Structure 1
Amino acid sequence: MTTFDEREQAFEAKFAHDEEMQFNAQARCNKLLGLWAAGLLGLGGKDAEAFAGEIVAADLEEAGHEDVVRKLEGELQGKASADEIRAKRAELLPQAKDQILSETG
């Protein structure tokens, strides 16, 4: 195997790792967002965890995170606007990334 081949394989492995980390961070962010919304709805314990799981699953409907925003906006029924949900998501994403990094480090 040539040095070029080794570099190519290393680059591909790093890319795959980075993509997996990004996916995990997005899923963790959606879980945190779901737990936040569950709190607004007065849910706790297993009900909050189940609700957060539904939010994580909602993100698989389409590319991007607008599917999650729409689901939460409908579920929250006026307790938070779409803009407030997006702002909370933006706030939680770095926290989710930190959690994922600390678990893998």
Structure 2
Amino acid sequence: MSTFDDRETAFENKYAHDAEIQFRVNARAHKLLGLWAAEKLGKSGDEAEKYAKEVVISDLEESGHEDVVRKVSGDLGDTSNADEIRAKMDEYLAEAKKQVMAED
């Protein structure tokens, strides 16, 4: 293999690794947001975990975080608003990145 091929393969591997890390960070942040929302809804234990999984799955509807914000906002109703949910999302994205990077 030539040096160019080696560099190309290394770049592709890094891209795949970075994409996997970002996926894990997003999933972790959505789970944390789901647990926060579950607490606001009065859920705990297995019920809170189940709700958090629903929030994670809701991210598969479209690119970005707005599908998650819509789900959580709809579920929380008047107890929260989209701006508060987005602020929590930003907070949990930073926390999730720390957690995932510590695991890697």
Q: Give the TM-score of the pair, scaled to structure 1.
A: 0.97
Aligned length: 104
Partner of 1:47: 47
Output the CA distance in 1 between the equivalents of 2:72 and 2:95: 20
Give the C-alpha shift of residue 103 in structure 1.
1.3
Unaligned runs of 5+ in 2: none
Output the CA distance in 2 between the equivalents of 1:45 and 1:93: 23
Give the C-alpha shift of residue 102 in structure 1.
1.1
Give the C-alpha shift of residue 28 in structure 1.
0.4
In the TM superposition, what whole-angstrom CA distance separates every residue of 1:45-65 from its partner, at most 9, and x where no partner exists? 000000000000000011111
Are 1:86 and 2:77 counterparts? no
Partner of 1:62: 62
Q: Aligned with 1:78: secondary structure?
A: helix
RMSD (Å), alpha carbons: 0.6
How do residues 1-105 of structure 1 correspond to structure 2 at under 5 angstroms?
Answer: 1-104=1-104
Q: Identity percentage over the alignment?
A: 59
Q: Aligned with 1:42: secondary structure?
A: coil
Q: Give the TM-score of the pair, scaled to structure 2.
A: 0.98
